[in-house]
């Protein structure tokens, strides 16, 4: 377990996510023309917006490249989008340089072995419920929801509480 995860409160500035198996259920729909479709959970999108309203940043690092992902990430105002990231750790180093955020201020959520190198470098590592066993063991937090079924929303709620931002985040909804 990462040192920061054992502390009562954590200081995360940037949430980094894998896409396939985290923001989606891992399935890929291939159309007759070769284009791909992806199914994203609306709760993840809503909570990503709440996260960003707190002045916090977001990023994706995914090994695949898909126009549907680019479209959805633009719709959600994701700050940093890296597709076709075949070596995620190299892309993570690029993200550090571009964002100016320190590794210990980053939370990462993944599901597969390709996520392991980044998960070992961040301040807070999370895994979706249906992640590979090695990934769940590495994680500081494992969601109860599987990938593509609100796991990111669950993680954001957990982090906002641990960061003492929950009440601020909920102000606009408690009228």
pLDDT number for residue 25: 95
Give me the domains of the chain, ranges plus CATH numbers: 10-169 (3.40.50.1000)
| Contact between 109 and 152 (Cβ < 8 Å) | yes
| pLDDT for position 144 | 98
Given this model, what pLDDT does residue 9 score?
A: 80
pTM: 0.93
Pair type for strands 36-37 and 29-30: antiparallel
One digit per residue, the tens of pLDDT, for the chain of length 175 reads 444 444 568 999 999 999 999 999 999 999 999 999 999 999 999 999 999 999 999 999 999 999 999 999 999 999 999 999 999 999 999 999 999 999 999 999 999 999 999 999 999 999 999 999 999 999 999 999 999 999 999 999 999 999 999 999 999 888 7
């Amino acid at each position: 377990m990462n040192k920061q995860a054992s502390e009562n409160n954590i200081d995360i500035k940037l949430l980094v996510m894998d896409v396939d198996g985290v923001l989606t259920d891992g399935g890929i729909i291939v159309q007759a023309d070769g284009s791909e479709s992806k199914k994203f959970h609306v709760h993840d999108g809503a909570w990503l917006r709440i996260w960003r309203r707190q002045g916090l940043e977001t990023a994706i690092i995914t090994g695949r490249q898909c126009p549907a992902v680019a479209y959805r990430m633009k719709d959600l105002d994701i700050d940093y989008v890296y597709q076709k990231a075949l070596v995620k750790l190299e892309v993570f180093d690029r993200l550090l340089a571009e964002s100016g955020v320190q590794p210990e201020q980053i939370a990462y959520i993944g599901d597969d072995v390709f996520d392991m190198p980044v998960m070992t470098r961040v301040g807070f590592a999370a895994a979706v419920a249906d992640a590979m066993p090695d990934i769940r063991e590495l994680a500081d937090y494992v969601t109860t929801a599987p990938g593509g079924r609100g796991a990111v929303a669950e993680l954001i709620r957990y982090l906002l509480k641990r960061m003492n931002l929950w009440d601020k985040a909920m102000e606009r909804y408690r009228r």
